[in-house]
Amino acid sequence: MAIIEIEKEIQVKSSDRVRNHGEVLTARREVEAMLDLVKNESERIDSRFLEPACGDGNFLVAILERKLKTVVSRYKTKKADFEVQMLSAISCIYGIDLLQDNIELAIERLFKIACDCYKQTLKSAPDEEFQNALKHILRKNIIQGDSLNGIDKIIFTQWTLVGYQFKREEYSFSQLNQQAEVLNTPLFASLVNEKGEDVYIPQPINDYPLIYYRSLGGLK
């Protein structure tokens, strides 16, 4: 008999956490209904999502599951393609939360979903090198921070898939979030759109050479 593990749905962990951090987690049904409003984007492997108060990951988990369905349907027959597309899906999901225990849980849940999907699809567990690549991306994307008052300290990596390699560029959250306030800084290049209006593109604070997807786990 197959044992199906169903996560218990907990919306309130303690009254202290509700009082101190407003932590009331969204139920799966509402998460799915909200994601259905952006159905195509939620299912697209390389659409980027950021949850600035992600809790223990209820939205992130549902987004990953949707993206992985697409990965499985398109790439299940070739291991390298499946692996790199799975990493691409994960690399487009970002989360911030004030509470470190939520971050740890969110990472754990996303990691487990990815590993379970890998096992079910390729009929073997991911090896250590691939697991480390998954963990590396998750640790860079799902981070503890204050998304209201601490955005200068939050650094995100933008991952761009180029064949079987990733390009990594780092941006501060304040760059991405407060575009209006930084329009006049030298960090921002001014370009003109098709209507002749200025558009401003943030410049990365760091960028790195292309790296083979399986080598990501070896990075700091």
**Binding site residues, ligand SAM, CB under 6 A:** 21-26, 51, 53-55, 58-59, 96-99, 102, 146-148
| Least distance (Å) between residue 107 CB and ligand SAM | 14
User: Residue with the closest Cβ to ligand SAM?
Assistant: 55
26 or 203: CB nearest ligand SAM: 26
64 or 84: CB nearest ligand SAM: 64
| Least distance (Å) between residue 184 CB and ligand SAM | 27
13 or 76: CB nearest ligand SAM: 13
Supply φ then ψ for residue 24, to 5 degrees: -130, 115
83 or 97: CB nearest ligand SAM: 97
Q: Which two tokens stand for residue 161?
A: 């898939």
22 or 218: CB nearest ligand SAM: 22
Cβ neighbours for 117, distance < 8 A, ≥ 6 positions apart: 68, 71, 72, 86
| Least distance (Å) between residue 175 CB and ligand SAM | 17
| Least distance (Å) between residue 172 CB and ligand SAM | 15
> Rg of the chain's alpha carbons, rounded to an integer?
18
Q: Which two tokens stand for residue 198?
A: 């200025």
| Least distance (Å) between residue 84 CB and ligand SAM | 29
- 171, 202 contact by CB (below 8 A): yes
SS3 category, 142: strand
Return the H-helix or E-strand segment holding 140.
helix 128-141
CA angle, residues 133, 156, 103, in degrees to nearest 5? 70
